[in-house]
Amino acid sequence: MTYAATQVYAPTPSVPGELKVIQDATCTFCGCVCDDIELTVKDDHIIEAKRACVLGKAWFLNHSIEDRPSCMVDGKPATLEHGYDRAAQILTHGKYPIVYGLSDSPCEAQRVAVSIVDWIKGTIDTTTSVCHGPSGMAFQGVGEVTCSLGEVANRGDLIMFWGSNPAESHPRHFTKYSLMPKGMFLPNGRKDRTCVLVDVRKTKSAKAADIFIQIKPKRDFEALWTLRALAKGIELDPELVQRETGVEFSVWTDLMDRMKACKFGVIFFGMGLTMTRGKHANSEALLALTRDMNEHTRFVAKPNRGHGNVTGADNVVSWRTGYPFGVNHSRGYPRFNPGEYTTSDTLANREADCGMTIACDPMANFSQPAREHLASIPFIALDTKETPTTRAAAVAFTVATYGINTGGTVYRMDDVPIPLRPAFPSPHPSDYDVLTEIEERVKVILGVTHK
């Protein structure tokens, strides 16, 4: 089938030499998904990206048309048809096919990827498993009290960042959502808010904070449980707290006083929690602390998600399978087990025997054992640019860039879905197109007649 929403927002071709302006374009570089960008396009090149941050500008200005073949098979240029055929053969001939990535694809393409996995009885996982996967597991344990980013802008008077460095990872976070906006209940903007940063190093975000708390590395769990205890009024040994967290006890009691006294507190947390010792236990402590704080005031938490549509990937995989990431279909129906069906594991444990990567680069971002195994199995890679992963792939597709060349839908880090307004067409197929072609062939090979 063809998804309805892929039919729209096709970019109009550029007229040589003429300027074209795209209003309210959406930047998909990071999870902020700013949808207020004004793009100026000339000769299939974005020459200006108004309101975009430094990362957004780099994203828009550097994605011009890649002068590379749309398809490479075994390192040699090939026709798309040949690539599609070969891809379908690879995916249907393995016993343990894995599909991974998806956080830089629109939802429409993600849906096709999940369909393919369903037909081939494969395992689907997204880059969530190596960013906020542990937070997803923590959420399954204790839940989450959260809100949309506009609520933060309109109500948040105590803004905390924990293990997150938005000054470098989400540059417009402060101005657009969390610190600077003059909100409905915060008419003076920044002056009406207090900002607290907790991290193991004094990052560039510290400049934006009123209070910086530098904790010992790998002691997030202890620090968060200190706050949980203080929220519940449990007595603690100040010396022990200082020894374990690296921070004076009075700093924690002062912070808890502020947390209780604020009207609407927010904790944005990053991979400083999920990637370090404790992982999901850290995220769980933070989510539980947020929940506890609702006995005193209103308090919410939100992971600062990285990639443009990683949140969409969580949503699509969830609505189609019931689970957010790390989903295995070998029995014909979805099963979930992080640590087993997640890609770092299926590769490092040498279980996967073929695969497909979409908009991700495991050959550069995974552990050495995982990379070695990936390089040893046949796999397909889709990416807008050449990466170590596309170089190692049996079939590599150069695809059009979402939000620049193709339309579709992305979910901001707070689960708000936003449409894309592409700037100019690409000669390369979109990942939606490539995946749809592969799906058709997979269905023929497997005798699937689903319409």
Partner 1 sequence: MTSSDYIKISQGLVYDPLHGIDGEVRDIWIRDGCIMDPPTDLAIRPSRTIDASGLVVMPGGIDMHCHIAGPKVNVARKMRPEEKRRGEQMPRTNITHSGSLGSVPSTFATGYKYAAMGYTTAFDAAIPPLGARHAHEEFEDTPCIDKGFYVLMGNNHYVMQSLKNKEPQKLKAFIGWLLASTKGFAPKLVNPGGVEVWKSKQAGNVSGLDTLVDHFEVTPRQIIKGVAQAAAELALPHPVHIHCNNLGMPGNWETTLETMRALEGHRGHITHIQFHSYGGGAGDENTFNSKVIPLAEYVNANPNITIDVGQVLFGETTSMTGDGPLGYFLSKVYGGKWFSSDTEMESGCGITPIKYRNKSLVHSLQWAIGLEWYLLVKDPWRVVMSTDHPNGGSFLAYPQIIRFLMDRTYRRDILKTCPPEILQRSSLWDIDREYTLNEIAIITRAGPAKILGLKNKGHLGAGADADITIYTPHENKEIMFEMPRVVIKSGRIIVEQGEMRDTLIGKTLHVQPNYDQAVETDIQEWFERYYSIRWRNYPVDLSYLYESCVIPTL
Partner 2 sequence: MPETFTLIPGRTTDQGCGVSEGKFKAKYQTAVSSLQVAPGDMERLGLSEGDRVRLTGEEGQSVEVCITAAKKDELPEGLLFIAYGDISSQLMTGDTHGSGMPTSKGMEVTMELLQKATS
Which residues are near partner 2 by CB under 8 A?
A: 29-30, 54-55, 58-59, 61-63, 125, 129-130, 133-134, 137, 165, 168-169, 171, 200-204, 214, 217-218, 271-272, 274-277, 279-280, 306, 325-326, 338-340, 342-345, 348-349, 361, 364-370, 385-388
β 298-303/76-77 pair status = unpaired
Q: Which one of partner 1, partner 2, none is in contact with 171 (Cβ closer than 5 to 8 A by kind)?
A: partner 2
Q: Which one of partner 2, partner 1, none is in contact with 184 (Cβ closer than 5 to 8 A by kind)?
A: partner 1
Is residue 189 close enough to count as binding partner 1 by CB under 8 A? Answer: no
User: Quick one: angle between helices 238-245 and 220-232, nearest 10?
Assistant: 150
Cα-based torsion angle of the residue sequence 39, 42, 48, 49 in order, rounded to the nearest 10 degrees: 20
Element (H, E) at 101: strand 97-101
DSSP conformational letter for 157 = S
User: Quick one: angle between helices 249-261 and 220-232, nearest 10?
Assistant: 60
Q: Can you tell me which residue has the tokens 């026709």?
A: 79
Query: Hey, is 328 helix, strand or coil?
Result: strand
Within 352-371, the residues that bind partner 1 by CB under 8 A are none
Q: Considering only CA atoms, which of 306, 383, 302, 340 is closest in space to residue 72?
A: 383
Q: Which is nearer to partner 1, 266 or 393 (CB)?
A: 266
Q: Which one of partner 1, partner 2, none is in contact with 169 (Cβ closer than 5 to 8 A by kind)?
A: partner 2
Member of 63, 86, 155, 441 binding partner 1 (CB under 8 A): 155
Alpha-carbon distance of 395 to 202, in angstroms, equals 43
The size of the interface with partner 1 (CB under 8 A), counted in residues, is: 79
Q: Which one of partner 2, partner 1, none is in contact with 449 (Cβ closer than 5 to 8 A by kind)?
A: partner 1
Candidates 81-89, 314-322, 390-398, 424-432; binding stretch for partner 1 (CB under 8 A): 314-322
Q: Which one of partner 2, partner 1, none is in contact with 294 (Cβ closer than 5 to 8 A by kind)?
A: partner 1
Query: Quick check: 414 and 144 in contact, CB under 8 A?
Result: no
Q: Can you tell me which residue has the tokens 């055929």?
A: 85
Member of 162, 268, 269, 323 binding partner 1 (CB under 8 A): 323
Q: Which is nearer to partner 2, 127 or 226 (CB)?
A: 127
* Measured CA distances, 336 to 120, 125, 374 (Å): 17, 10, 22
Member of 66, 85, 104, 314 binding partner 1 (CB under 8 A): 314
Is residue 147 close enough to count as binding partner 1 by CB under 8 A? Answer: yes
Q: Which is nearer to partner 2, 300 or 363 (CB)?
A: 363
Alpha-carbon distance of 270 to 404, in angstroms, equals 27
Helix residue ranges, H only, 326-400: 343-348, 362-365, 368-376, 388-392
Is residue 422 close enough to count as binding partner 1 by CB under 8 A? Answer: no
Q: Which is nearer to partner 1, 368 or 449 (CB)?
A: 449
The pair of structure tokens assigned to 142 is 């204790």
CB-based contacts of 14-22 (< 8 A; 24+ apart in sequence) = 14/41, 14/42, 14/43, 14/44, 14/424, 16/43, 17/42, 17/43, 18/42, 19/47, 20/423, 20/424, 22/421, 22/422, 22/423
Provide, rounded to whole angstroms, the least separation between the CB of residue 102 and partner 1.
Answer: 15
Within 86-125, the residues that bind partner 1 by CB under 8 A are 107, 111, 115, 118-119, 121
Provide, rounded to whole angstroms, the least separation between the CB of residue 61 and partner 2.
Answer: 8
Q: Which one of partner 1, partner 2, none is in contact with 97 (Cβ closer than 5 to 8 A by kind)?
A: none
Q: Which one of partner 1, partner 2, none is in contact with 450 (Cβ closer than 5 to 8 A by kind)?
A: partner 1
Query: Quick check: 270 and 303 in contact, CB under 8 A?
Result: yes
Q: Which is nearer to partner 1, 278 or 334 (CB)?
A: 334
Member of 102, 109, 153, 179 binding partner 1 (CB under 8 A): 153
The pair of structure tokens assigned to 284 is 């769980």
Alpha-carbon distance of 181 to 160, in angstroms, equals 16
Q: Which is nearer to partner 1, 263 or 350 (CB)?
A: 263
Member of 12, 62, 250, 294 binding partner 1 (CB under 8 A): 294
Q: Which is nearer to partner 2, 170 or 193 (CB)?
A: 170
